Amino acid sequence: MTQPSRPKPAPVHGIAHVFAATRYSVGGVRRLWQETAFRHITLALPVCIGLFALLGAGLMDYAFLLIGFFALVAVEALNTAIECIVDHLAPDWQEFARDAKDLGSLATMCLLCANGVFLGTVVFRSLALS
């Protein structure tokens, strides 16, 4: 179902731009919360933080965990944006739509794997030092 079009908002400048950008980002988080994958990512973060605490991980480990988390959220947001645009452009099955969605999913999976390698490295290092 398409939404009715409305006029493009006027550009915002100065400090008002910061507040407008923040509103847009909060809107993005609200939209992303509808995605199961994003909810899983947000649930995994406190679990990983707890695991790091149990393992006695260092400050840099926590920093890299957060960097990986925010990168994963960013890629998941872009993947969701791709899916929204593709679904709008191709409501019926199209090869380009499948390819675009598969590539967005691949980007997310690659970052999930990178985060998994990092997590595994921290766990292995901690167990090896014990």
d(CA 97, CA 91): 9
- Domain coordinates of the chain in residue numbers? 25-129
Q: Report the percent of the chain where pLDDT is more than 70.
A: 98
Q: Would you place residue 2 in the very low, low, confident or very high pLDDT band (cuts 50, 70, 90)? A: low
Mean pLDDT score of the chain, rounded to an integer? 94
pLDDT (0 to 100) of residue 114: 98
pLDDT digits (tens, 9 = 90+) for 6-52: 888 888 899 999 999 999 999 999 999 999 999 999 999 999 999 99
- Is CATH 3.50.50.60 the right assignment for the domain spanning 25-129? no
Catalytically active residues, by annotation: 76
